[in-house]
Amino acid sequence: MDLPAHLSDTAALLPLAAMLLAVVLPLATTAPAAAQWRRFHVLAALGLLASVASAGLHALRPDAAHASAWSPWLQVTLVGSVLAVLVQGLVVVLGHFSARYLQGEAGQARYVASLAGVLAAVHALLLADHWLVLIAAWAAVGLALERLLCFYADRPFALLAAHKKRLADRLADALLLAAAALCWTTVGSGSFSDLSAHLQAHGASPALQWAAVLLAVAVVLRTALLPVHGWLIQVMEAPTPVSALLHAGVVNLGGYVLIRLWPLLEQAAAARWLLVALGAATAVLAGLVMLTRVSIKVRLAWSTVAQMGFMVLECGLGLTTLALLHLIGHALYKSHGFLVAADAVRQARLQDLRGPARPTAASVLGAPLLTVPLVLLLATAGVATARAAAWPWWWSVVLGLAWAPLLWRADRAPAGAAGTAQHLLRGLVLATALTAAAMLTHGLPWGLSDAPADAPGLLALASLALLYALQAMLLLRPAALPRLRRWAYAGFYLDERFTRLTLRCWPARWVPPPPASVSGPKGLPRTVHTPV
Tell me the backbone φ, ψ of residue 470, rounded to 5 degrees.
Answer: -70, -40
Q: pTM value?
A: 0.88
Query: Which residues on neighbouring strands pair with residue 531, listed in sequence order?
Result: 510
Q: pLDDT 10s per residue in the chain (532 long)?
A: 455 667 777 888 888 899 999 888 887 778 788 888 999 999 999 999 998 888 888 777 655 555 555 677 888 888 888 999 999 998 898 888 888 888 888 888 889 999 999 999 999 999 999 999 999 999 999 999 988 888 887 777 778 888 888 889 999 999 999 999 999 999 988 999 899 999 998 888 899 999 999 999 999 999 989 888 888 887 777 788 888 888 877 888 999 999 999 999 998 999 999 999 999 999 999 988 988 887 777 888 888 899 999 999 999 999 998 899 889 888 888 877 777 765 555 555 555 555 556 778 888 888 898 899 998 888 888 776 655 567 888 988 998 998 888 888 765 555 556 667 777 888 888 888 888 888 888 777 888 888 888 889 999 999 999 999 888 888 887 777 788 888 888 888 888 888 888 888 888 766 544 544 444 444 444 444 444 3
Task: List the chain domain ranges.
Answer: 1-127, 152-343+477-507, 359-473
Three-point CA angle 394, 396, 398, nearest 5°: 70
User: Residue 531 belongs to what H/E stretch?
Assistant: strand 530-531
**pLDDT value at position 170?**
92
Query: Which residues on neighbouring strands pair with residue 446, listed in sequence order?
Result: none
Which residue type occupies 472? A
Which residue type occupies 30? T
**pLDDT value at position 178?**
96
- Please report, to the nearest 10 degrees, the dihedral formed by the alpha carbons of residues 508, 511, 513, 515 taken in order: -170
**pLDDT value at position 523?**
43
Indicate the burial class of 417 (C-beta count within 10 angstroms; 0-12, 13-18, 19 or more).
exposed
**pLDDT value at position 283?**
92
Biggest alpha carbon–alpha carbon distance for the chain: 72
Q: For residue 465, which of 311, 323, 284 has the smallest C-alpha distance?
A: 284
